[in-house]
Each structure stands twice: as C-alpha cells, then as structure tokens.
A and B are shown apart, each in its own frame.
Chain A
Amino acid sequence: MKLNIMVVDDIHANLRLLSDILGAGDYTVRPVPDGNLALTAARSVPPDLILLDIMMPGMDGYEVCRYLKADARTADIPVIFVSAKDETIDKVRAFSAGGVDYITKPFQAEEVLARVRTHLSIRKLQHHLEEKNRELADALDQLKAAQHQIIHQEKMAALGQLVAGIAHEINTPLGAIRASAENISHATESSFDQIPKIFQKLSQQHQDDFFLFLREAVRNNPPLSSRETRNLRRVLKEELESRGIASAELLAGILANMGFGGDISRFVSLLKEKENTFIMQTAYTLFMQKSNSDNIVKAVERASKTVFALKSYVHYDPSGKMIRAKLSEGIDVVLTLYHNQLKKGIEVIAEYEDVPDILCYPDELNQVWTNLIHNAVYAMNGSGKLKIGISQDNDFAAVAISDSGSGIIPEIQEHIFDPFFTTKPAGEGSGLGLDIVRKIIERHRGRITVESRTGETTFKVFLPKQIVAESQTI
C-alpha cells in the first residue's frame, strides 16, 4: 500500500509543486489549502506524514502543528515544516510546536524526497518498536501470571501436606469435648441419686468434711501426667493402708484420678466410714463435673489455636502493601500447623531474641518458613533436632533454621536454589521450594545463605529491619 502524505499550503502553486514531487516518489498525496481543513482531514484519516506551510492566513503552521500534537489521533504523525522563500523560519518555534524537520524554499525535489523518506522510515521503526514493546509487556504479564500460578500451587501443595495433620489436630479436641460432655451428663444424673444418700448417711461433721474435701479436690491441682498419676496412686494406697482404711486400693485410685496431692490426715475419720467407697465415688461424680468442664475448655483452646494458625497462614492482604509484623509470629503459626509432623520425634528448640517488627508480606514469609521447615523435617526423616533462632545482625533481622538431618553434599549446594532442582523422588518434590523462598526474600531486599554438613544444615535468612516499601508484586 502506498504511504499517505498530506501537504498543507494556502498557495495553489506550492501545493501543486509538492504534490508533483511526492507523486513522482510513489506516495499518495492529499493537498489541503488551509489549517482548519488539515486538522479535520488528519483526524478522520490520519496520514503517515504531513508537510506543513508556516505562513497561512487564519491558523498558521505552528498552531496547526500544536493542535495536531495535542490530539491523540494525530499526535504521532511526523510534521515537516515548509517555509516560503521570503520568510525566515523560527526553528525554535518549529521544534517546540512538535515538528520533526523543516525545509526552506527554494528546495530541490531530491531534498524533499530524502527528508520525507527519512522521517517515514524513522516513523516505521518507531511503530515497530512500540509494537515489540507491547508484545514484550504482554509476554511479561503472562509470565507473571504463570509465576503466580506456580507460587499458588506450591503454597497449596504445602497446605495439602498439612491438612492430614490438621484433621488430627481438630478431631482430637472434638473427641475430648464430646466424651467430656457425655461424662458430665452422666455424672449429673448420678449425683441426683447419690447426694440425698450422702445427707442421710453422714453425720453433720462428716458432711462438712465431705464438702471440705471436695473443695480441696477441685482447687486447681496441677494436671498430672499418666505416670505421675500412677505414682500418686501407689503412694496413696500405702498411706491409706497404713492408716487402716478399708478398700485402700479403690480409694487410692479415685483420689489419684482427682490428682489429690493434699493432706489426707484431716479426712481419715471420713474415710473410715463403713460406706467409704460410696462416699468417694459420690465425691468423684461431683468432681468429674468440674474436671470435665475444664477439659472441654482446654480442648476448645487447642482447636481455636489450630484454626487461628490456619487463618494466619493464608492471611492475605489484598492491598498488596507491606505491613509491619513480628517475625516470630509467622514462624509460630507454621510451627503450630506442623505440630503433628514435628511431635513424631523432632525436638524443636526456638530461641527468639527481641527484634523490632519489620515491614513485610507476612503470608509470603510464612511460605518461606514453611518451605524451610518442610525441607528440614524431610532431611531429618522425622526425627532429630530443629533449631530456630531469631537474632539481630546490624541492619538485619536474621532467622536461622537448622536441622540435624542428612545435609547437602557440596556438589549440589550451588544448585539447590535453582528452579526444578530436586533430589526428592518424583511426586514428592517440585524443586521450586527454595527458588520461591529466594524470590520472596529478594522481594524483601534480603538474602539467604546456607551452610551444611552431615548432621547440621543451617539456612539463614536476613531481612532488612528498615525496608523501602516496594509496590511491585511477583
């Protein structure tokens, strides 16, 4: 297709001359006799280039050019000014109005064609460049989207590994809650039968002893482990026997289940009653109502801790801005979620120094801790020591995560941060964990180092305490 050139001049002879020159140069020429018409014509069908006379009645060339440049539809069209023989061109005005070149009369046909050709090819190159830029920007957007997708999948995979453990983590307190609630309900019913008998059978003094004993039993005794309970039962049994109390074994069992570590001597008289087992069973039924309620409260706390950790883990700030957060909080969230995998045989040693809150993307840092802890647990094959330290290092907050696992052989140390590098069997590792970790840390203007030998591998993350907020997202 022929390129399209508009020539604007109020003098017909000039129009014809330029049209002839350009027509010979194989261009389509659109002669226009005044500025206003030129603007309208250029807006409806933008030409590839405009030759513009300066001195015209009404709107002069400078003004026409300024209007062309001010309109998005025509702003990109190169304008070459043409000045008449008897006028001196004001070059500064010409360029500042937006012209790319000028021609003064008298001119040679070759000169006009050469300049027109030059500017057309510059324009073509410019177009080409713009198009390439657009393509690049599109490609970049697509890459970013793909990367987001991969990061998201990694995050979900890490979460998936946690879900099984979390099922256990939630079902355990639920089990305890249901059983305790059923226990309370049975105990309440039994109390209805037992209490009146207590009042019938016991003297006033022993009734007082009975309630005194109960009050002591429900007073917050420290919870005992199963082993401590067994020991207490043994001690109590001997003591009761030595005091000549009947059914010592059964009573010792009840007292130990109450965690009764107090002084028995005040209750010897009560415990020597003929129906001492009934009395203690009644006390235990009442005690159960309190202890099972306490158990429910504990279970609820456990469950809410897990739910809270889950919520914090997927915490996402849609504003995309960095926020101030405590490093230790994020790490603890991840440790809570990993509780199940860790408790199987990994000793966690956390040493947190006080470091100021830092500006960060907390959910991304959670992903860093998750990946590093996950790798550590994997390397220890389920048992060993996991050390997590937070400290200050000049302008940085440093988080060190060490494991007592297999270590990373020197030959592969420089590759572990490469995307898709993994030594795990197919299906277990994507090889993206550490790549993502490094990207997230770089986004925080931090860095990560690794030191490893058999039995001790330490990843150390340095995050600047004062970070210049960066709005760009990966």
Chain B
Amino acid sequence: MPKKAILCVDDEEIILNSLRDQLQTRLGDRYIYEFAESAGEAMEVIEDLASEGTDILIIVSDWLMPDMKGDEFLIRIHRKFPGIVKVMLTGHADESAIRRVQEQADLHRCIFKPWTEEELIGTIISGLKKNE
C-alpha cells in the first residue's frame, strides 16, 4: 500500500511545531506528516516524496512567506498536481489572493490563524474525503 502524506508549509517554526503534534495527535500514524519552511523547500519535499512513491494528499500552506507567496505556490502545485487538496492557513491574506487560489488552484478552504483544532482537522478530513 503506498504511503500517504500531508505537507505543511509555513516559515514560522512555532507554527510547524504545533501543527506537527496536532496532526500526529488527531490523525495518528495513518499518514506521514512533512513540513517545509518555504515554498522552495516544499517543492523539494514534493519531488522527494513522489520519487519514493508516496502520495501527497493535502498541502496546508501559509500565505505570507519569504520566497514565494502562498497563492502563487498553490497555483503552481495545482498545475503539476491537480489532485492534491489545497488548504491555506494564514494570519493575513488579501482577498484577491484568496480569490486567485480559489479560481486557479481549486482551493479547498482558507483557515485563519489563530485556528481551532476542530477547524483544521475538520477541514483536512473533509479534504481527504473529497480525494477518495
């Protein structure tokens, strides 16, 4: 059975730290969780996982990041991997950026920081269902 992964992209260490345990606690060992601090690193991870034969089911990405903004990143991902479910998790994003991801990257949902566990896990579960 091929392994399935959830990838989180955020340039803030404190966010990745808390997400890692949140996902692990709530979703357990069913998935692999990967983390990247920038869009560039996320691209590498995606290539790596693809070459290992691991499917990425969902990407949860911040919007404001150093090298590439979340909207651009998710749109690029969508062109290459339209099947991956895309979620934005952000402290601030302008409306037009969100609209762009909705239109051009089939954004599943945008969640705002500070998020609640139910919101995030609920969004991920509904996203996974969409993928089945």
Contact = CB atoms under 8 A, between A and B. Distances in A.
Q: Do A and B come from one complex?
A: yes
Interface of A: 164-165, 167-180, 182-183, 186-187, 190, 223, 225-227, 229-230, 250, 253, 257, 288, 291-292, 295, 298-299, 302, 340, 343-345
Given A179-B117, A230-B34, A344-B66, 16 more contacts: A171-B114, A172-B14, A173-B14, A176-B15, A178-B114, A178-B115, A178-B116, A190-B25, A225-B37, A226-B34, A226-B35, A229-B35, A292-B17, A295-B14, A295-B18, A345-B66
A227 B42 CA distance: 10
A172 B115 contact: no
B35 A291 contact: no
Given A176-B17, A298-B14, A345-B66, A171 B37 contact: no
Interface of B is mostly: mixed
Contact of B64 (A168, A170, A226): A168
Interface of B: 11-22, 24-26, 29, 32, 34-37, 41, 45, 64-67, 69, 89-92, 94, 112-117, 120
Contacts of B64: 165, 168, 340, 343-344
Given A168-B90, A344-B66, A183 B115 contact: no
A180 B18 contact: yes
B18 A164 contact: no
Given A172-B91, A227-B41, A344 B20 contact: no
B115 A167 contact: no
B117 A250 contact: no
A302 B17 CA distance: 15
A164 B93 CA distance: 9
B39 to A, nearest CB: 11
A451 to B, nearest CB: 29
Contact of B14 (A169, A176, A250): A176
20 contacts: A165-B64, A165-B92, A167-B91, A168-B91, A168-B92, A171-B92, A176-B14, A178-B114, A179-B18, A179-B19, A179-B21, A182-B117, A183-B25, A186-B26, A225-B13, A226-B36, A227-B37, A227-B41, A291-B17, A292-B18
